[in-house]
Amino acid sequence: MSRIIEGLLYSESHEWVKVEGDLAVIGVSDFAQAEMGDITYVDLPSEGDEIQAGEEFGALESVKASSDLYSPVSGTVEAVNEDLESAPEMVNQDAYAAWIIKVRMSDPSELESLLDAAAYGKIAE
Amino acid sequence: MRYYDKLIFELSRPGRSGYSLPDMPKASLPEPGSSIVWRQTPLELPEVSEPDVVRHYTNLSQMNFGVDTGFYPLGSCTMKYNPKINEEVVALFNGYHPLQPEETTVGIQSIYDFMDKALAEITGMRHFTFLPCAGAHGELTGLMLIREYHMSRGDAARTKIIVPDSAHGTNPASAAVCGLDVVVVKSRPDGLVDVDALKPLLGPDIAGIMLTNPNTLGLFEKDIKQIAGLVHGCGGLLYYDGANMNPLLGVVRPGDMGFDVMHLNLHKTFSTPHGGGGPGSGPVGVGERLVPFLGKPRVSGFHGNFGVILRACAYILALGKENVKLAGRLSTLAANYIKESLKDCYKLPIPSVCKHEFVFDGLKDAGDVTTLDVAKRLLDYGFHAPTIYFPLLFHQALMIEPTETESLQTLDSFIEVMRKIAAEASENPGLLHGAPHNAPISRPDETAAARQPILKYSKV
Amino acid sequence: MGTFAYFPHTEEDIRVMLERIGVPNLDALYSDVPDEFIRKEDYDLPSSMSEDQVRAWFESMAARNTRLKVFAGAGAYDHYTPSVIPYITSRSEFLTAYTPYQCEISQGTLRYIFEWQTMICALTGLDVSNASMYDGPTAAAEAMRMCVASTRKRNTVVASSRLLPNVLEVLRTYSRYSGINLVETSDVAEAVAEGTLDLAGVIVPSINRYGIIESHLGLAQLVHEMGGLLVEYCDPSALAVVKTPAEWGGDIAVGDGQSLGIPLCYGGPYVGFMACRSELMRKLPGRIVGQTQDAQGRRAFVLTLQAREQHIRREKATSNICSNESLMALWCTVYLSLMGPEGMRKLNSICYENSHYLKRELLATGLFSDPFEGREFLKEFVLQPLCDVQKLQQALLDAGFFGALATEEGYVSFCVTERRTREEIDALVKVVKELAL
């Protein structure tokens, strides 16, 4: 059983969002990391990139698979977790601690269409 | 096979050499410092003698498994026997420069002409281009021809190509390189293209469809006539991915099924060796409609992989009109024989008659034994593994293609080993998890290789 | 049946197999194929030939070609192939193996690819190489695509019009269908410096179509300032002595490995190579071999970074390439092992001496002028003919020479490798002199 944390928002493509004011901290769910297996690389965007909700902003790679990352919100990439470049296994170790990007949201109302922990639990099985 | 640990760089001693060049005392390059165009950095190549080189690469070769070593039932790869006369004829054509005038390469031109006619006859196409160097390169060329056709008619809106979910990975990748958007059509539970799902995808934006027939499950797309009618009806063209042509060799011609353009993998269907991943050759054939565009896409530097074309030509001459009719049929016979002999211990998701290959979805009684374990255990018994985890339709896919060049005895010993492995899986699964035990190396740490890539040798 | 050497099936074998399957005959295995598609008539092909007949057929074809002493290059060079190479590459363990997906029984292939990658890095000076491409021109096309993929939202690639003609043609083909804006120009620096382009990359030759070794001083800096990547198209044999892509500050190097011991064989097979700086590693197309350890801690090699490739990422892959030219990479690897740094320098010295000798002698005939006087060249050069080119070419052909290749610009090009003897060069010059009379 994969872990799901209360209080976070989730997308159907298995990203989580932690809201800090108008900043969205984004990572992937425990379910997603377990499906991928040992993650070997996290393809990150650059700080300052403009991204749209639903648009891909990076990818996770394992030995035999690749999975695109989709942004749950629109906005500007404020920070990327550069630690993941040298230590992608952090995502496997704790998917909720290993945030991937922080986005300054341009339209916080987009958060309303995301799932809460209970709703996400139904699709991450 | 035995483990040998050296890299050529580790045999190097300063001052040793393995070259033999004419003596020319006067010959000297300007000093590196004489102009900015000369190299300054020392060139780090190994310094080894000729005997060092021969022994090193002989040792490396002994860690390798080829078709000449043993049975190679690798699905979708058609690892048939590579006749030896084919290798010998190539040397007759060494030394000809690619830009020599045609009047000095009359024999070479005659071979291209012969191959054009022979492949057109075998496939029902009109003409071939030999520029593509591999199957995926052929796909790309074929898609360029489709685009060229639409553009010539001022039909610029056709930018989408339909690809089944079971297609080889090269199909969508080639489409992307050709600037086409991929539209995926689903397979039905019986493994064939879902014609009802196809219909709504068709329209004025569709450039065509890429199909391999039989498909990657080894199943003949029996609705092909209807599919061809629908795609042509919407103004699109049909591309035939020739990777799975072997069972149709001498039985069915893609041109007769309504395909407009196709490639052949000479390194599959026409017996040329794979060389550890290449060189291949992917000639592209077209029907009447696309003939005017055939010379347009210049996709490689000279005339395609002529040496590979020569080998395929030798194979066709040996095969002749008599044996060509048997090649495909015997490959289909071998595949069905294995399938029927193993379906009681391996999961067979689609039980119908297959063509040159078929797919098991892992062991029937798997426990925690995976398809990877089965594949690795096969290596211990002296067989190459089947293609695994492809197609993506099944989680534990094990795709087996025996080809027509394996004897009944070989097939039987493979079947026996596969049954033995099935028994081992329930009696001693640990044996399988740890396999291979008799190969030059055991399972390597692929995760470490990808996380901290070491992609070249450096002195410690 | 049972009479064809490649098919091991006896009548009895077939009967046993059909019985196991439960069908009456071979055609019943095609019951799912609509009958109208089953070919009933014979194929219009020759009758099956015996091995001796096949050999004779090819010998008769070979006899219709004319062997010429090659004094031409333009991307395919007549360097000597040491006899060790075909001896090694024809070992069936290398020749008849598939792509090394089952690494435990493919360490031979994986190790030589790792050695090839190392040697390509040594020649180019760059950090990372892939396992090979089809040929030089397609490698250039892949580099063009890589530039666009590596620089977000930029779509223009500037190519020097002094690249080999077949390289430009393949670049045009690939750009035409993928929508890349390919700009060809004789002055790359000027086109880039204007700063009006959404520049993704620049492709320049290390040695250009006139045989001249180009200087790219300051170009890398300029290209980088404009946000693009610098690609160099190189002859790897020449890289032993001419300034490397890394020394010029380039990002990607491509070219054809044919000059590294692969014999001329009309179209090939030859082999493309591609190397880049480590930052671009994950944008490289094609296979890459990496080092790791097996379960017992022994050094082992595997195909790695596969998440870039078509079998995993499908339409989002960095390229569609699957089969490459692995065995030809082995040809080059064995060649470079034999030659070593000293052999490569000596080889280039002989080519330099030979080609400069021929050029002096040709100029002395008074039938040519030198359009690029004073520019450094290695083995290939062009002259401006002051005589009838067709007569010149015909006279050379009649005497058994292939040279004086006409270029689009009206020059004739010559190339002299280490294989051409002083006697052969003198004989060619004699033919030319006779034209002057």
DSSP assignment string, C116-153: HHHHHHHHH--SEE-S-BS-HHHHHHHHHHHHHHHSTT
**Distance, CA of B313 to CA of B275 (rounded, Å):** 18
Of all residues in chain A, the one with the smallest CA distance to C313 is: A66
Instruction: Give the burial string for C394-413 (b: 16+ CB within 10 Å, else e).
Output: ebbbeeebbbbbeeeeebbb
pLDDT tens for C325-351 read 999 999 999 999 999 999 999 999 999
Q: Give the model's pLDDT for residue B186.
A: 93
Question: Chain B contacts of C174, Cβ < 8 Å?
Answer: 177, 299
**Which residue spans within C206-298 are E strands per DSSP?**
229-234, 252-256, 272-276, 289-293
Q: Which residue of A has its CA nearest to B389?
A: A64
Cβ of A61 within 8 Å of Cβ of B450? The answer is yes
Tokens read off for C346 = 């000596």
pLDDT tens figures, B381-391 = 999 999 999 88
Positive or negative, the CA dihedral B165, B171, B177, B183 is: negative
- Name which of A33, A35, A40 to mutate to probe chain B: the one with the most chain B Cβ atoms within 10 A of its Cβ: A40
**Tokens 């009684």 correspond to what residue?**
B365
Which tens digits make up the pLDDT trace of B84-132? 999 999 999 999 999 999 999 999 999 999 999 999 999 999 999 999 9
**Bridge-based pairing state of the strands B206-211 and B181-185:** unpaired
Nearest C-alpha neighbor of C337 from the set C122, C96, C97: C122
Helices and strands (H, E) in chain A, number of each type: 4, 9
Work out the minimum CA distance from B92 to partner chain C, whole angstroms.
Answer: 6
B422-434: pLDDT as tens digits: 999 999 999 999 9
Tell me which chains share at least 3 CB pairs under 8 Å with chain C: A, B
Whole-number pLDDT of residue C2: 47
CA B452 to chain A, closest CA, distance in angstroms equals: 8
Instruction: Please give the average per-residue pLDDT across A36-62, as a whole number.
Output: 93
Rounded to whole angstroms, the maximal C-alpha distance in chain C is 83
Token pair 């029984």 in the structure block, residue: C105
CATH number of the domain to which A102 belongs? 2.40.50.100
The total of other beta-carbon atoms located within 10 Å of residue B86's CB is 24
Residue of C nearest to B147 (CA): C177
pLDDT in the model for residue A1: 65
Reported as a single tens digit per residue, the pLDDT across B26-65 is 778 999 888 999 999 999 999 999 999 999 999 999 999 9
How far CA B309 is from CA of B243, B295, B321, C257, in Å, comes to: 16, 18, 19, 20
Q: How many angstroms separate the CA of residue B283 from the nearest CA in chain C? A: 13
CB within 8 Å of chain A, chain B residues 431-460: 446-447, 450-451
Q: Do A64 and C312 touch (CB under 8 A)?
A: yes
Instruction: Name the H helices within B343-360.
Output: none
Question: What is the DSSP code (8-state) at residue B67?
Answer: T
Whether A63 has its CB under 8 Å from any CB of chain B: the answer is yes
Q: Is A2 inside any structural domain?
A: no
User: How far does the CA of residue A82 sit from the closest CA of chain B (Å)?
Assistant: 15
Q: Regarding beta strands C181-185 and C156-160, do their DSSP bridges make them parallel or antiparallel, or are they unpaired?
A: parallel
Cα separation, B262 vs B284, in Å, equals 6
Q: Is A5 contained in some domain?
A: no
Chain A partners within 8 Å of C305 (Cβ): 41
ipTM of this complex: 0.97
Please report, in angstroms and rounded to a whole number, the separation of the first and last CA atoms in chain B.
28
User: In the numeric block, which tokens belong to residue B270?
Assistant: 């026409």
In sequence order, what DSSP letters do the residues of C279-300 get, joined into one string? GGGGG--S--EEEEEBTTS-EE
Q: Confidence band (pLDDT; 50, 70, 90) for B460?
A: confident
- Mark out the alpha helices in C246-325 (DSSP H runs): 310-313
How many angstroms separate the CA atoms of C237 and B39, rounded?
Answer: 12
The residue type found at B31 is: E
Pairing between β-strand C380-385 and β-strand C368-369 as defined by DSSP bridges: antiparallel
Count the alpha carbons within 13 Å of C220 in the hemisphere toward its beta carbon.
15
CB contact under 8 A, C263 and B325: no
CA distance C158 to chain B (A): 19
Of B389, B446, B450, the CB nearest to A41: B450
Interchain contact, C6 vs B27, CB within 8 Å: no
Contact between residue B287 and residue B125 where contact means Cβ atoms under 8 Å apart: yes
Structure tokens at B342: 């193993």
**Minimum Cα–Cα distance from B50: chain C residue:** C338
Burial class (CB in 10 A: 0-12, 13-18, 19+), A89: middle
Is residue A4 included in any domain, yes or no? no
Distant-in-sequence, close-in-space partners of C379: CB < 8 Å, separation ≥ 6: C73, C77, C211, C238, C348, C351, C352, C354, C355, C415, C416, C417
Are A62 and C316 a contacting pair at CB < 8 A?
Answer: no
Residues of C in contact with B278 (CB under 8 A): 132, 269, 323-328
Whether pLDDT at C1 is above 70 = no
CATH domain B324-449 topology: Aspartate Aminotransferase, domain 1 (3.90.1150)
Mutation target among A52, A66, A86 for the C interface, most CBs of C within 10 A: A66
Omega before B254 cis (within 30°)? no
* Chain C touched by B189 (CB under 8 Å): no
- C193 and chain B in contact, CB less than 8 A: no
Domain boundaries, given as residue ranges, for chain B: 1-21+41-61, 84-319, 324-449
The average pLDDT across B308-321 equals 98
Name the residue type at position C264.
Answer: L
Per-residue pLDDT, B218 = 95
Which residues neighbour C189 within 8 Å (Cβ) at sequence distance 6 or greater?
Answer: C218, C219, C222
User: Distances in Å between the alpha carbon of B141 and those of B147, B400, C268, C288, C308?
Assistant: 10, 29, 18, 24, 22
Cα gap B288→B292, rounded to integer Å: 8
Q: How far apart are CA C383 and CA C394, in angstroms?
A: 17
Q: Is residue A20 one of the residues assigned to a domain? A: yes
Instruction: Provide CB contacts within 8 A for B354, sequence distance 6+.
Output: B214, B217, B218, B219, B332, B335, B336, B339
| Domain encompassing residue A60 | 11-107
With contact defined as beta carbons under 8 Å apart, do B356 and B403 qualify? yes
- C102, closest residue in chain B (CA to CA): B385
Q: Identify which of C169, C264, C295 has the shortest CB distance to residue B298.
A: C169
- Reference B404, options B217, B270, B256; nearest CA is B270
Query: Which residue among B106, B130, B455 sits closest to C128, beta carbon to beta carbon?
Result: B455
- Residues C90-116, mean pLDDT to the nearest whole number: 97
How distant, in Å, are the alpha carbons of B96, B207, C84, C97 from that of C261? 15, 43, 11, 22
Contact assignment for C179 to B324 by CB distance below 8 Å:
no
Q: What is the pLDDT of residues B198-244, one digit of tens each?
A: 999 999 999 999 999 999 999 999 999 999 999 999 999 999 999 99
Q: Is C287 on the interface with B (CB under 8 A)?
A: yes
| pLDDT above 50 for B343 | yes
Peptide bond into B391 cis (omega under 30): yes
Q: How far apart are CA B277 and CA C94, in angstroms?
A: 10
User: In angstroms, rounded to a whole number, what is the distance separating the alpha carbons of residues C258 and B307?
Assistant: 13
Which chains form contacts with chain A, at 3 or more CB pairs under 8 Å?
B, C
Task: Categorize the per-residue pLDDT at C314 as very low, low, confident or very high, splitting at 50, 70 and 90.
Answer: confident
C308 phi, psi to nearest 5 deg: -80, -20
Smallest CA–CA distance from A40 into chain B, residue: B451
Is residue B289 within 8 Å of B149, Cβ to Cβ? yes
For domain C69-80+341-436, give the CATH superfamily. Answer: Aspartate Aminotransferase, domain 1 (3.90.1150.10)
CA–CA distance, B346 with B363 (Å, rounded to integer): 4
Q: Which fold has domain B84-319?
A: Aspartate Aminotransferase; domain 2 (3.40.640)
Mutation for A interface: C280, C288, C313, C315, most A CBs within 10 A = C313
Cβ burial of A33 (10 Å; 0-12, 13-18, 19+) is buried
For residue range B131-148, list pLDDT tens digits in order. Answer: 999 999 999 999 999 999
- Residues from chain B that touch A63, judged by Cβ atoms under 8 A, are 446-447, 450
Contact C307 A66 (CB under 8 A): yes
CB contact under 8 A, A66 and C313: yes
Q: What percent of chain C has pLDDT over 90?
A: 94
Structural domain boundaries in chain C: 69-80+341-436, 84-334
Q: What is the mean pLDDT of residues B186-196?
A: 94
SS3 A39: strand
Distance from CA of A71 to the nearest CA of C (A): 17
**Which CA distances in Å does B86 have to B103, B144, B274, C330?**
25, 31, 13, 20
C316/A contact by beta carbon, under 8 A: yes
CA pair distance C265, B305, nearest whole angstrom: 9
Is C132 in contact with B5 (Cβ distance < 8 A)?
no
**Which residues are bridge partners to C256 per DSSP?**
C272
Q: pLDDT tens digit string along A69-97? A: 999 999 999 999 999 999 999 999 999 99
Contacts with A41 from chain C: Cβ below 8 Å: 282, 305, 307
A118: closest CA of chain C, how far (Å): 32
- Residue A102 in domain: yes
Fold type of domain C84-334:
Aspartate Aminotransferase; domain 2 (3.40.640)
What is d(CA B414, CA B39) in angstroms, rounded to the nearest whole number?
55
Report the number of distinct structural domains present in chain A.
1
The encoded tokens of residue C19 equal 């019985």
For residue A49, what is the nearest residue in chain C, using CA coordinates?
C152
Q: Give the 3-state secondary structure percentages of chain C, helix then strand then coil, rounded to 5.
A: 45, 15, 40
User: Using a CB-CB distance cutoff of 8 angstroms, which residues of chain C are in contact with residue B459?
Assistant: none
Nearest residue, CB atoms, B445 vs list C118, C292, C338: C292
The answer to whether residues A108 and A75 touch, using CB atoms and an 8 Å cutoff, is: no
Query: Testing the interface with B: which of C3, C104, C126, C304 to mutate, by most B Cβ within 10 A?
Result: C104
Give, for C12, the enclosing helix (H) or strand (E): helix C11-21
A63 and B447 in contact by Cβ < 8 A? yes
Q: C54 and chain B: CB distance < 8 Å anywhere?
A: yes
So what's the pLDDT on residue C197? 83
Residue with tokens 């709504």: B200
Give the residue among B337, B266, B299, B18 at the shortest CA–CA distance from B119: B266
| Cα-based distances in Å from B60 to B8, B303, C95 | 10, 32, 13
